[in-house]
Amino acid sequence: MKFRILNFFIWIFLIAVAMYCGVNGLALWPIAAAAIMYPVFLITISTNIRWNVFAKGFHHQKDHPKKEVCLSFDDGPTNVTPKILDLLDRYDAKACFFCIGEQMEKYPEIAQDIIERGHIIGNHTYSHTRKMGFLSSKSLAREIDACNIIANDITGLNLNLFRPPFGIINPKTKSALDKTGHLVIGWNLRTYDAILNDKSKIVNRIKRKLKPGDVILLHDNKDQTPIILEQLLLHLKSNGYRAIRPDQLFKINAYN
Ligand SMILES: [Zn+2]
């Protein structure tokens, strides 16, 4: 059943029960609690990308037989990205950069460099607006299309992979993706490089959790990310791991 119809009937049910309780003098607090908890439940399932509730995505390769992981960088390109590209070259690692359209407009030569050095670019919307969770499916599709157009102008490639800003996948995202046809790439290992400042804590956490087939989320708009990345790359190298791109790990097309 379509979410919109299901959602409509859930609200009709809640209102009907509330009216019944009101007319018959029954306690209204259980239905009030349900009316509050239901939106909380919807927000929870929309922001946990790995649960695949509204749209299926690629988040990690379970039981991957080789010591391979994916490094992914969100929110660039920025002036931090060249440092990351140099590090990846030094350790012979490949990665995916989920670029914001506005950032590619600012740094077209860096976007081009990402491709020339053997990495791939994915779509991370045009503006990465904080209102992303409230956009209509039409506006979301426009955001995704606009990012693709800029990437195509710069690189000549048509991006096929999409990472939702803030990891939000709600019914509107699903409907936008039905129109644009992008594949969702999530992650299963967050580094928290965008919110935590303790670099050794971040690196130790990744080292503890790391396993073959992981998709690691980093950000190339944070000054501390190159420092974290170098320690991570050293760890991967000394433990026999190889960093590959998500199109290689999941055997999907990065472009179409
Ligand atoms: Zn982002």
Distance 221 CA to ligand 1 centre (A): 10
Short-list 45, 75, 72, CA closest to 165: 75
Distance 229 CA to ligand 1 centre (A): 18
Short-list 41, 46, 56, CA closest to 10: 41
Per-residue pLDDT of the chain (256 residues; tens, 9 = 90+): 677 788 888 888 888 888 888 888 888 888 888 888 888 888 888 888 888 878 889 999 999 999 999 999 999 999 999 999 999 999 999 999 999 999 999 999 999 999 999 999 999 999 999 998 889 999 999 999 999 999 999 999 999 999 999 999 999 999 999 999 999 999 999 888 888 888 888 889 999 999 999 999 999 999 999 999 999 999 999 999 999 999 999 999 999 9
**pLDDT tens profile 75-102:** 999 999 999 999 999 999 999 999 999 9
Nearby residues of 23 by Cβ (< 8 Å), 6 or more positions away = none
* Crossing angle for the helix pair 108-116 and 81-90, to the nearest 10 degrees: 10
pLDDT for residue 48 = 83
Distance 21 CA to ligand 1 centre (A): 45
Distance 128 CA to ligand 1 centre (A): 7
Distance 113 CA to ligand 1 centre (A): 20
pLDDT for residue 197 = 82
Short-list 215, 210, 117, 202, CA closest to 161: 215
Q: Which residue is listed with tokens 């509050």?
A: 36
Distance 234 CA to ligand 1 centre (A): 25
Distance 219 CA to ligand 1 centre (A): 8
pLDDT for residue 103 = 98
Candidate CATH numbers 3.30.70.360, 3.40.50.720, 1.10.3720.10, 3.20.20.370; the one for domain 57-250: 3.20.20.370
pLDDT for residue 174 = 93
Q: Which residue is listed with tokens 């420092």?
A: 227
Distance 17 CA to ligand 1 centre (A): 41
pLDDT for residue 1 = 63
pLDDT for residue 43 = 82
- Residue by residue, DSSP assigns the chain as --HHHHHHHHHHHHHHHHHHHHHTT---HHHHHHHHHHHHHHHHHHH-GGG-SSS-EE---TT-SSSEEEEEEES--STTHHHHHHHHHHTT--EEEEE-HHHHHH-HHHHHHHHHTT-EEEE--SS--TTGGG--HHHHHHHHHHHHHHHHHHHS--B-EE--GGG---HHHHHHHHHH-PEEE--SEE--TTT---HHHHHHHHHHH--TT-EEEEETT-TTHHHHHHHHHHHHHHTT-EEE-HHHHHT--SB-
Distance 98 CA to ligand 1 centre (A): 8
pLDDT for residue 194 = 81
Surface-to-core class of residue 4, CB atoms within 10 Å of its CB (0-12 exposed, 13-18 middle, 19+ buried): exposed
pLDDT for residue 97 = 98
